[in-house]
Chains A and B, each alone.
Chain A
Amino acid sequence: MTEFKVGKYVLRNDLLYTETDEWIKIEEDNATVGITDYAQKKLRDIVGVDLPKKGQKVSSGEVVAVVESVKAAADIYTPLSGEIVEVNENLISSPELINKDPYGNGWLFKIKLSNKEETKKLLTPDMYTERVKGD
């Protein structure tokens, strides 16, 4: 079982996380990035998304996407450096996928990593549990 709950939020133990509530799935030299269940629940109904461009070079910590909820526009930071190799085009017409399936069909973009060492700075599931616990 990879999925577990912390209060009302779902986390997965096969992912890494950031302080700014992105999740990251590492597969060899590539990383898939999305926002956590905690983040989508805080944002509530997501009605739009601005995605990065395929081929775009990004540096860790840079704002590369924006998620529009009814409440506010939230900046999405790339947790890792590299090149954007794929974006989730389905979100353009169906941004609510982020609410419905944040760890699955609601993924945002994939990066080909230029510096795999950066993954060491990401939060483990235990560390991210501490962040959302009690909220």
Chain B
Amino acid sequence: MFCTPLVNFEEKLNSSLGEFAGWKMPMSYSSYQEEHLAVRTESAFFDLSHMGRLKIKGKIEEIENLVAKKVADAPQYSMIGPTAFLSDKAGFIDDVMTYKVSESEFLVVTNAINREKVISWIRKNSSLDVEDLTFGLVMIAIQGKKVWDYIEKPNLQPLQFKLNVNFEGQEVFLLSRSGWTGEDGVEFWAKPEAAEVILNKLVSKGVKPAGLMARDSLRQEMGFVLYGEDIGEEVNPVEARYWVYSLEKEFIGKQALVEILKSGVDKLRIGIKLPKNLRVIPRNGTRIKIMGEEIGKVTSSSYSPFLSRVIGMGYVNSRHFLLGGNADVEIRGRDYNIKLSDFPLLK
């Protein structure tokens, strides 16, 4: 199992470690609920060193052929994403963020679980040079409603990034205005020693350390998918309502995707909300029913301390895509009422 290089630093902050996608990472510190609320009301940071980070170099035509969204026209130092690597059948190999460094060099962030698979897939489908940066650098996200009260605001528009810059007094390899929580903020990649200096400074200013559990509940409020739970190779972007492609160009999986768009889909991703203060969690695989008839299954669920209710997402038959309507989830043999909702669930 891999382990974040910041483990000793984080243990001093009272981290509770757990396993995620083959990595030992902080799951929470004090309480995921407090960490979640810190992001929605103040500011918090996450260690994301488990995420795969790759540098790919070569002909842009080859890169374009791999990525479902158009990258050629994107400005330099901008992020294209989320986008995806798709299979021939238009299933998700992975959903990724791509960073355009130049016409021939891109950085890619993969899901931790898919890093090796993506490297093999790129090598199989192109002659691009792939360098794995995952283990030399840590990745940190600082996110929050009041994030700029705590850190220097970089001269970056959302989804722009810079390389080899000074951030909070330290050299970082990459600084981007991005995140995955629905709040503003930055992500940076840096050597562990530099990251630790920055994080110590953040802690002394009152930025809360947050673990992957808070990240999970935050992303569910926004309706963001998690690979392995909500999407996978058996799911296509149309079913997931995850608009990660550009049809004006060619890429692996496009032909299948076009066929899917023409024929329509049998299932669609939908949000769910349970009544306020009903404290049961429909886990992955829980049946969604209407009048006793199964219409779909839950893929993710969590208690949202911000909304004071259990939320989540799943897939229902496309004929039952009844936004705003009611259904039931079956938990331990009992049915509980849910509302079928659109994303973000936060509104």
Contact = CB atoms under 8 A, between A and B. Distances in A.
Interface of A: 41, 44-45, 47-50, 66, 68, 70-73, 92-93, 95-96, 99
Interface of B: 16, 18, 27-28, 31-33, 213, 216-217, 277-281, 283, 302-303, 310, 332
Contacts of A41: 16
B259 to A, nearest CB: 39
B279 A48 contact: yes
Contacts of B303: 47-48, 70
B281 A44 contact: no
A93 B33 contact: no
Nearest to A70: B213
27 contacts: A44-B16, A44-B27, A44-B32, A45-B28, A45-B31, A45-B33, A47-B33, A47-B279, A47-B303, A48-B278, A48-B303, A49-B279, A50-B280, A66-B332, A68-B279, A68-B281, A70-B213, A70-B281, A71-B18, A71-B27, A72-B283, A73-B281, A73-B283, A95-B279, A96-B31, A96-B33, A99-B31
Given A70-B302, A73-B281, A96-B33, 15 more contacts: A44-B16, A44-B32, A44-B213, A45-B28, A45-B31, A48-B278, A48-B281, A66-B332, A68-B279, A68-B280, A70-B217, A71-B18, A73-B283, A92-B279, A95-B279
Contacts of A47: 33, 279, 281, 303, 310
Nearest to A93: B277
**Majority DSSP secondary structure for residues of B touching A:** mixed
A45 to B, nearest CB: 5
A66 B283 CA distance: 14
B279 A70 contact: no
A41 to B, nearest CB: 8
Contact of B280 (A48, A71, A96): A48
Contacts of B213: 44-45, 70-71
A49 to B, nearest CB: 7
A44 B332 contact: no
Contacts of B31: 45, 96, 99
A71 B216 CA distance: 11
B154 to A, nearest CB: 32
Nearest to B211: A44
B283 A70 contact: no
A41 B275 CA distance: 27
A50 B32 contact: no
Given A44-B27, A45-B213, A70-B302, A50 B281 contact: no
Contacts of A93: 277
Contacts of B279: 47-49, 68, 92, 95
A124 B48 CA distance: 43
A41 B28 CA distance: 11
Contacts of A45: 28, 31-33, 213
Contact of B28 (A44, A48, A49, A96): A44
Most buried by B among A45, A96, A99: A45
The 4 closest A-B pairs by CB, nearest first: A48-B279, A47-B303, A45-B32, A68-B281
Contacts of B332: 50, 66, 73
B336 to A, nearest CB: 11
A68 B312 CA distance: 15
A50 B336 CA distance: 13
